[in-house]
Amino acid sequence: MSTAAHVEDPRAAFREITEAVCVAHERPQPPKAWYVAMVISLGMLGVLGVSLIYLFITGVGIWGNNNVTAWGWPIVNFVFWIGIGHAGTLISAILYLMRQQWRTSINRAAEAMTIFAVLCAGLFPIIHTGRPWLAYFMLPLPNDMDMWPQFRSPLMWDVFAVSTYGTTSVLFWYMGMVPDLATFRDRAKNKIAQLAYGILALGWRGSARQWHRYERAYLILAALATPLVLSVHSVVSFDFAVSQVPGWHTTIFPPYFVAGAIFSGFAMVLTLMIPARYLFGLEKVIKKSHIEAMCKITLATGTMVGFAYGIELFIAWYSGSMYEQFAFLNRGLGPYWWAYFLMVTCNVVLPQLFWFKTCRTNPWIIMVLAILVNVGMWFERFVIIVTSLARTMLPAAWSYFSPTLWDAATLIGSFGLFFTLFLLFCRYLPIVAISEVKNTLPEAHAGKH
């Protein structure tokens, strides 16, 4: 569009957004890199399939979990993935309430990422039970045995928190997508696409009366999702913190886990969106300033996490409890010192580079840092779970936890599931919230108001 067209027709600016998002999507063939990524992801998904089948046939003994470190990698992975799944709702809901308009370019993809991450997260506790086909026991279903879930258990809270969060994320995501699906419907060239998008768009026609209720509903969902997102990782932190295990039982856990979750979630959004931005030519929509803003949030939350590490260490000493003191000494100087070192370096030290504008604008540096943050956050969960469990109150039970190949295969496989879903999303659904981006253009507010 030329500048002249802008002046003559205010609609050009809106059309430009539609085109920018849809053209990449409507190409008959996705870019080659997409195929490459898809093949790799499907391969990893296959690894997940194989390890799950082997797991179901053989049992949880294939993992490195043992009597003391009963939680092992599956729960590390669970907490890791559920943490990743926090950025989407944060971007969609909290930044919406805070009127941060830059969120519109990335919120859709981040929400999708949230849903896929929650899916991966939900997988782990279920397979960790050893009998996943009895997972429905966790729901309050009337049954012959007249038995009910134990609602005072933090693990039950997890079931409710994660399933509520998953449901809310899906509904929020889908609701936000309906107007854009209508755009896809109206642009669709072949019958199957028309039909599929037509059904998914529910007959959306952009009516002002419907927009009114839609916007109100969006606001309410945002307002509900905000405390919900706080609650989910708080509940996950309760799994640890209501116990008496030294190193787990500390009152700062809920906000500290939430900050960590947002931290890792933003790192994952950066990891995914920087390549997606180039692959699908979305530079016009996802601007550099948006990437920079995400870097700043990563920095802020990383620093909060560092603050919590520090306070934990101080209070462990200040508590005067030898068990607490030992737990934290053991983290830093015990057999898992390397994990602790990795965690502090990746989560607290390296993100400090984002103070510098050069680091916030260079996509390569951002990519590397974001991936390292993900590594660091995985190790944070590893450190919390393994160091405390492998050195419990009973020294006779102390042992060194070593994962097996199947642990690694399951983790890699979960990434396969995540990436496969994300790549499918990029190809078939509106990756950017088209109508929301239009709403932030100056042209949308030109004229009367």
User: In sequence order, what are the residues at sequence separation of 6 or more whose Cβ sits closer than 8 angstroms to the Cβ of residue 411?
Assistant: 73, 77
Quick one: residue 27, left, alpha or beta (phi over 0 = left, psi -120 to 50 = alpha)?
A: beta
Query: If you ran DSSP here, which 8-state letter would residue 142 be given?
Result: -
How far apart CA 123 and CA 268 sit, in angstroms, is: 19
Q: How far is the CB of 278 from other proteins (least distance, A)?
A: 25
Nearer to other proteins, 249 or 427 (CB): 249
Nearer to other proteins, 39 or 213 (CB): 213
Asked if 313 and 328 count as a contact pair (C-beta separation under 8 A), the reply is yes
Site for other proteins in 239-258 (CB under 8 A): 241-244, 249-255
Q: Which of 224, 371, 397, 408 binds other proteins (CB under 8 A)?
A: 224
Query: If you ran DSSP here, which 8-state letter would residue 371 be given?
Result: H
Q: How far is the CB of 288 from other proteins (least distance, A)?
A: 16
User: In sequence order, what are the residues at sequence separation of 6 or more whose Cβ sits closer than 8 angstroms to the Cβ of residue 241?
Assistant: 248, 249, 250, 251, 253, 254
Q: How far is the CB of 106 from other proteins (least distance, A)?
A: 17
Asked if 64 and 72 count as a contact pair (C-beta separation under 8 A), the reply is yes
Nearer to other proteins, 201 or 370 (CB): 201
Q: Which of 234, 271, 301, 410 binds other proteins (CB under 8 A)?
A: 234
Asked if 90 and 151 count as a contact pair (C-beta separation under 8 A), the reply is no
Cα-Cα-Cα-Cα dihedral sign, residues 374, 376, 378, 384: negative
User: Does the footprint of other proteins cover residue 58 (CB under 8 A)?
Assistant: yes
Site for other proteins in 141-160 (CB under 8 A): 146-154, 156-157, 160
Site for other proteins in 384-443 (CB under 8 A): 434-436, 438-439, 443
Site for other proteins in 300-319 (CB under 8 A): 303, 307-308, 310-312, 315, 318-319
Q: How far is the CB of 335 from other proteins (least distance, A)?
A: 25
Site for other proteins in 13-52 (CB under 8 A): 14-15, 18
User: Does the footprint of other proteins cover residue 2 (CB under 8 A)?
Assistant: no
Query: What angle (nearest 5°) sits at the alpha carbon of residue 308, between those of residues 305 and 311?
Result: 155
User: Does the footprint of other proteins cover residue 230 (CB under 8 A)?
Assistant: yes
User: Does the footprint of other proteins cover residue 134 (CB under 8 A)?
Assistant: no
Site for other proteins in 66-85 (CB under 8 A): none
Q: How far is CA 102 from the centre of its chain?
A: 19
- Alpha-carbon separation of residue 299 from 37, 292, 384 (angstroms): 29, 10, 22
Q: Which of 43, 46, 49, 59 binds other proteins (CB under 8 A)?
A: 59
How far apart CA 413 and CA 127 sit, in angstroms, is: 13
Q: How far is the CB of 255 from other proteins (least distance, A)?
A: 6
Site for other proteins in 374-393 (CB under 8 A): none
Q: Which of 27, 36, 139, 321 binds other proteins (CB under 8 A)?
A: 321
- Choose the stretch contacting other proteins; rule: CB under 8 A; options: 54-62, 105-113, 342-350, 363-371: 54-62
Q: How far is the CB of 41 from other proteins (least distance, A)?
A: 28
Q: How far is the CB of 54 from other proteins (least distance, A)?
A: 13
Residue 2, classified by CB atoms within 10 Å of its CB into exposed (0-12), middle (13-18) or buried (19+), is: exposed
User: In sequence order, what are the residues at sequence separation of 6 or more whose Cβ sits closer than 8 angstroms to the Cβ of residue 186?
Assistant: none
Q: Residue 42: which of 305, 430, 416 has the closest Cα?
A: 416
How far apart CA 151 and CA 440 sit, in angstroms, is: 45
Q: How far is the CB of 80 from other proteins (least distance, A)?
A: 21
- Choose the stretch contacting other proteins; rule: CB under 8 A; options: 62-70, 187-195, 269-277, 415-423: 187-195
